[in-house]
Amino acid sequence: MKKCQLLLAVFSFLYLAGLPAQNMDSTSQSIHEKTYRVIPWMSGGIAAVGLATNIVGIPKVKDKPTLTEQELEDLVAKGVSKFNASGLRQDVDFREKAHTISDGFMYSCGIMPFLLFVDKKTKGQYWDIALMYLETQAITSNMYTYSPLGPTFIDRYRPQAYYEELSFDERTSGNQRNSFYSGHVATTATGTFFTAKVLCDLHPEWKGEKYLVYGLASLPTAIVAVLRVQALKHFPTDVIAGGVIGAGLGILIPALHKRWQNKVKLSASYTSTFKGGSIILEF
């Protein structure tokens, strides 16, 4: 999740650096015409606080007690469920390469939503979408760090701990208790499914094409999931959970902002003789 922190920091800088460029139209602007309702101080606050809390929380997650020799013996003797058994049948020599490739995919998918700005329908909404994405990734990262579903509350041993051919130090690291769930997969899924959701929202004329868009969004997530298993970092259930959580948040946060936008109409008019506006809240 350190990669997620870096992405959030970079995106926050880009957003703040571009704020001065957001000038009001000289005649009129209707916020209701936008796809999403984004309140900068609220979404920005969530993103900023989320970045800070995750920076504090991640080291604590990784600083768990080391495994004992008895724990390792018990793990090997007990084994895992049939569904997760594939996690113990991986090529040990490929684990480092799989880890590196999965990092690359996660970074790429983490910046994927910014490709949305190529779409002409994002005109006038660039910073709203950017800030909404920062908010989404902040929530995703903190779900991993602090929620009851994450490694702060759940101790599950990584596949590495089971492989007797690995060194004792590698198998007993406290980080080996953090198998559930996969932060890499969650971060990847958030990026790809956020992109898919926003694209579909911007193009309501797409009907059957929406299934194709979401299908394409699932491919990088699936690839990272397989790679994390091959890297001996997670079992199949860990990566599935990460994918569901990341995809869910990537879709849910834009959906909430869209629903709020449909409830609120905010318009403002600016001329040389008149400055005014109105707000209408629909239920």
Residue 263 near residue 282, CB atoms below 8 Å: yes
Q: Specify if 255 maps to a domain.
A: yes
Look up the pTM and report it. Answer: 0.80
Regions in the chain scoring below 70 on pLDDT: 1-32, 261-283
Q: Does any domain span residue 178?
A: yes
**pLDDT score of 123:** 87
Distance CA 15, CA 22 (A): 11
Domain total of the chain:
1
What is the identity of the amino acid at 265? Answer: K
Q: Look at residue 35 in the predicted model and tell me its pLDDT.
A: 86
Q: Is residue 197 part of a domain?
A: yes
Q: Give me the pLDDT at residue 208, please.
A: 83
- Maximum separation of any 2 CA atoms in the chain, in Å: 82
Any domain includes 137: yes
Say what the pLDDT of residue 158 is: 96
Is 75 inside a domain boundary? no
Whether 95 is in a domain gets the answer yes
- At 272 the pLDDT is 53
Closest by Cα among 149, 157, 115, 158 to 133: 115
Is residue 73 situated within a structural domain? no
Q: Does residue 72 fall inside a structural domain?
A: no
What is the pLDDT at residue 262? Answer: 63
In what order do the strands lie in the sheet containing 275-281?
28-30, 264-270, 275-281
At residue 102, the pLDDT reads: 97
Q: What is the extent of the structural domain holding 12?
A: 2-67+81-281
